[in-house]
Amino acid sequence: MNMELEMEMKKKTCIAMVPCPGHGHLIPLLEFAKRFLLHHRDDFHVTFLIPTLGPPSPSTIAIINNLPSNIDFTFLPPVNVQDLHIQTDHPVPQMVLTVRHTLPSLKDALASLTSRTNLVALVLDVFSLEALHLAKELNISSYLAFASGAATLSFTLSFPKFDESFSSEFEFQPEFLDLERTMDVPGCDYASFKVKDLPDPVLFRRSGEIYTLFLSVCQKASLVDGIIVNTFNDLEPEAMRALHNGSSSRSVYAVGPIVAQPNQNQDEKIDECIAWLNHQPSKSVLYICFGSGGTLSQEQVNEIAFGLELSGHKFLWVVRVPNKIPNSGYVIGQKEDPIQYLPPGFVERTKEQGLVVPSWAPQIEILAHGSTGGFLSHCGWNSTLESIVHGVPMIAWPLFAEQRMNAILLTDVLRVAVRPQGEEDGVENREEIAKVVKRIMDHGNEEGLEMRKRTQELSYAAAAALTENGSSTKALSSLAHELLNKNL
């Protein structure tokens, strides 16, 4: 670290941020740091301490290298995945245990920061809460940066109580778990969440490691000094009220929507996608993507392909190598060409109708484009907010994690999404897929027009929350005031 940066950090209030492994967890924390410092750059400096399972990806390095000068970073020594002794492909153990194995080097890095800066707070991702005790040891404040919404946060904080209910009422065998039982999530009376809709670690009751680690995460979430949540008041007002009312000793800051900004650098894939979109009519293209880690079975890939062809609507589809495990993209590298897994002749037959992109596409740029009229999404919270910010209605296709809860919020409460019905043997058929595509994309369809109107209203509300006097900007100012007082 150069002398000039050392001097700057000594003069400012410093914050350390620890994401858990995974691009989808790093980006929201980075975007929050940039948003926070945009408003309070003269007072604060942020240091990222990043746990890793191996060398950072080229895309991660590109993002890190373009951070403003008041954010610096350290990649902690990588953990060998073999040392984790994980018996499952589920990402929760991988993320939590990676942070756990990183604790010695993280402790050294924090001690070094404390000795040479005015370090006042440790900001943790939900799956890096393993490091919570280090804040107590260093006598600094701890904050949870919750990358999902207020409803999921409310569930997370309440889950230890739900666990007691599960222990007394449910058997360990999944076949005896009442998946249709309605769960009362504080502040979420507006939505009917059933056991089957809850984050999927809940359904792994029989798989002790996943369930136990998830329960431990939820217990630690209640012990932080403050919570920063990526939502805005007008999106989830009831859940936010419940969080404020239930957190008398802890501040909860709704600072969203925090979404990634368009890439300013030249990129061949960005150029390809945007060039294609530039030749399509307004609001005519359905964008299809299942996040950075979502995967579908071969059967489901086939049905989506035939459903898109049957619908006749324009599409831009990010295709990933099929896998029966819906979150395998987080733990299995993409070494094959996913295009080869599409039905024979599909690409040729639909070359005038759609564009197929392997593995990754510039989502922000696509959603912001005037030709994009719908988004078939896995309902990850990052994607959900990005779609709302850009006023794009959705087809909800949740796969794992908290995505089923998000889908219910989008379809039943906000009514900015539709959801396929009629799943058979875990696979949605092509006729139903074509039907929901038409519901959202046919411009003469009253239901689609209403969804587009409501999504646009939420887009305006999201923009208003981020204005100088908006609710999220005020929440950032309150957080900054709290942190500065800790430095007095």
- What positions carry a catalytic annotation? 25, 125
The distance from CA 144 to its chain's CA centroid, rounded to whole angstroms, is 15
Tell me which residue has tokens 């431990």.
216
Whole-angstrom distance, CA of residue 475 vs CA of residue 226: 12
Could you tell me if residue 54 is left (phi over 0), alpha (psi between -120 and 50 degrees) or otherwise beta? left
Closest C-alpha among 153, 146, 162 to residue 195: 162
Nearest alpha carbon to residue 162 among 214, 207, 209, 206: 214
Length of the chain: 488
DSSP 378: -
- Give the contacts of 187 (CB within 8 A, at least 6 positions apart): 150, 151, 154, 238, 239, 240, 241, 242, 243
DSSP letter (8 states) at residue 233: T
Which CA distances in Å does 106 have to 23, 29, 101, 214? 19, 17, 9, 22
- Contact residues for 408 (Cβ-Cβ < 8 A; gap 6+): 191, 192, 193, 197
Q: Which residues contact 339 (CB under 8 A, 6 or more apart)?
A: 319, 347, 356, 358
Report the C-alpha gap between 327 and 316 in whole angstroms: 21
Sign of the CA dihedral with 187 first, then 231, 235, and 439 last: negative
Q: How far apart are the first and last CA of the chain?
A: 26
User: Nearest-5° angle of CA 65, CA 8, CA 15?
Assistant: 70
How many Å is the maximal CA-CA distance in the chain? 68
Residue 193 phi/psi, 5° resolution?
A: -90, 125
Contact (Cβ atoms closer than 8 angstroms) between residue 217 and residue 132: no
If we measure between CA atoms, which residue out of 393, 409, 390, 392 comes closest to residue 153?
409
Q: How far is CA 149 from CA 26, 51, 154, 403, in A?
A: 16, 24, 9, 11
Helix axes 150-169, 208-221, angle to 10 degrees: 130
